[in-house]
């Protein structure tokens, strides 16, 4: 579930936390730096941002000035004030077990708001069955590439350079482009008419333009509709590849860059 689009949905959902003070923290210490809870308890949440697939909370207090980074891995999901903005797909059987919680942050309401009611549950809850997600402090995000949603052809061309890895591998590399995951890359390449296994240095200029345009146009549309699973290459189509929605020829399911890829040999060259 979590690609850049999901992180963006969670960013928007978490903005009401700005201005609150962290009163208590519980964390699964296997996925966080030592002493994280003590470090951030008492700090005010001063900002909520997203970089690529990472959600960032700015935290400030007399003794702390840091950025808390939430990485969701393959199966992480977020709840804010008891509300999950995205439902499961992979674990769609309604499973949401407390045992899978990895981080719980209780944060007080705005001190000066007389209408505010006390809250009992955690303000923020990171639930992640597979535990591939991570919580970090001051993560190094300097090398993250330009964000996919606003990607320009010029920037994409520069980032790809003369590299010979497959275009799919390159687009999945967060240092090349920020925010794309397996589903979005397949969707973008399908829309742009580029085969996933084409080497980066053999992607012509027109295709670069098409990929960047597909990122700028399709990703915001998918975001609007609910995230990475809302592309033309639907989860149903991915799991049982049928006919290409564009030209009606058979879709192919194969491994590219170690990831399951769905594409149309007819119009993706």
Q: How far is the CB of 238 from DNA (least distance, A)?
A: 7
Q: Applying CB under 7 A, which part among 11-19, 116-124, 176-184, 217-225 lies near DNA?
A: 176-184
**Residue 87, C-beta contacts closer than 8 angstroms, at least 6 positions apart:** none
Among 11, 50, 53, 104, binds DNA (CB under 7 A): 53
Q: Which tokens sit at 142?
A: 């300097």
By beta-carbon proximity to DNA, the closer residue of 81 and 90 is: 90
Does residue number 263 form part of the binding site for DNA (CB under 7 A)?
Answer: no
Give the dihedral sign, CA 237/243/247/250.
positive
**Residue 248, C-beta contacts closer than 8 angstroms, at least 6 positions apart:** none
- State the Cα–Cα distance between residues 141 and 35, nearest whole angstrom: 22
By beta-carbon proximity to DNA, the closer residue of 22 and 223 is: 223
157 to 17, 161, 173: CA distances (angstroms): 38, 6, 14
259-263 and 124-127 strand pairing: unpaired
Strand partners, 56: 49, 69
Query: ∠ at Cα 148 (142, 150), nearest 5°?
Result: 100
Does residue number 187 form part of the binding site for DNA (CB under 7 A)?
Answer: no
Q: Applying CB under 7 A, which part among 18-26, 105-113, 169-177, 217-225 lies near DNA?
A: 169-177
- State the Cα–Cα distance between residues 269 and 198, nearest whole angstrom: 8
By beta-carbon proximity to DNA, the closer residue of 1 and 215 is: 1
Does residue number 229 form part of the binding site for DNA (CB under 7 A)?
Answer: yes
Strand partners, 260: 255
Q: How far is the CB of 193 from DNA (least distance, A)?
A: 21
Q: Name the E strands within 171-231.
A: none
Q: How far is the CB of 58 from DNA (least distance, A)?
A: 20
Q: Of residues 104-143, which lie at the interface with DNA (CB under 7 A)? A: 129-132, 134
- State the Cα–Cα distance between residues 245 and 69, nearest whole angstrom: 38
Q: How far is the CB of 28 from DNA (least distance, A)?
A: 9
Does residue number 6 form part of the binding site for DNA (CB under 7 A)?
Answer: yes
Does residue number 159 form part of the binding site for DNA (CB under 7 A)?
Answer: no
- Interacting residues toward DNA by CB under 7 A: 1-3, 6, 52-53, 71-74, 88-93, 95, 99-100, 129-132, 134, 163-166, 169-170, 172, 174, 181-183, 200, 227-229, 235, 257-260
């Amino acid at each position: 579930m979590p690609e850049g689009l999901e992180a963006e949905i969670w960013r928007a959902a978490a903005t009401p936390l700005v201005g609150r003070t962290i009163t208590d923290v519980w964390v699964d210490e296997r996925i966080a730096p030592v002493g994280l809870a003590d470090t951030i308890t008492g700090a005010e949440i001063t900002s909520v941002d997203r970089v690529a697939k990472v959600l960032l909370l700015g935290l400030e207090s007399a003794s702390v000035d840091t950025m808390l980074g939430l990485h969701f891995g393959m199966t992480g999901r977020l709840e804010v004030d008891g509300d999950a903005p995205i439902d499961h797909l992979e674990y769609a059987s309604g499973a949401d077990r407390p045992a899978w919680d990895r981080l719980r942050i209780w944060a007080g309401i705005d001190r000066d708001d007389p209408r505010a009611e006390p809250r009992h549950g955690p303000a923020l809850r990171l639930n992640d069955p597979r535990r591939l997600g991570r919580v970090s402090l001051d993560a190094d995000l300097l090398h993250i590439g330009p964000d996919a949603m606003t990607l320009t052809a010029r920037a994409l061309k520069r980032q790809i350079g003369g590299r010979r890895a497959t275009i799919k591998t390159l687009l999945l590399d967060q240092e090349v482009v920020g925010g794309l995951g397996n589903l979005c890359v397949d969707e973008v390449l399908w829309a742009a008419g580029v085969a996933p296994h084409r080497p980066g240095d053999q992607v012509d200029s027109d295709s670069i333009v098409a990929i960047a345009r597909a990122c700028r146009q399709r990703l915001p549309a998918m975001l609007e509709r609910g995230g990475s699973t809302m592309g033309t290459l639907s989860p149903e189509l991915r799991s049982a590849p049928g006919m290409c929605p564009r030209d009606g020829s058979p879709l192919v399911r194969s491994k590219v860059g170690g990831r399951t890829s769905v594409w149309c040999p007819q119009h993706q060259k």
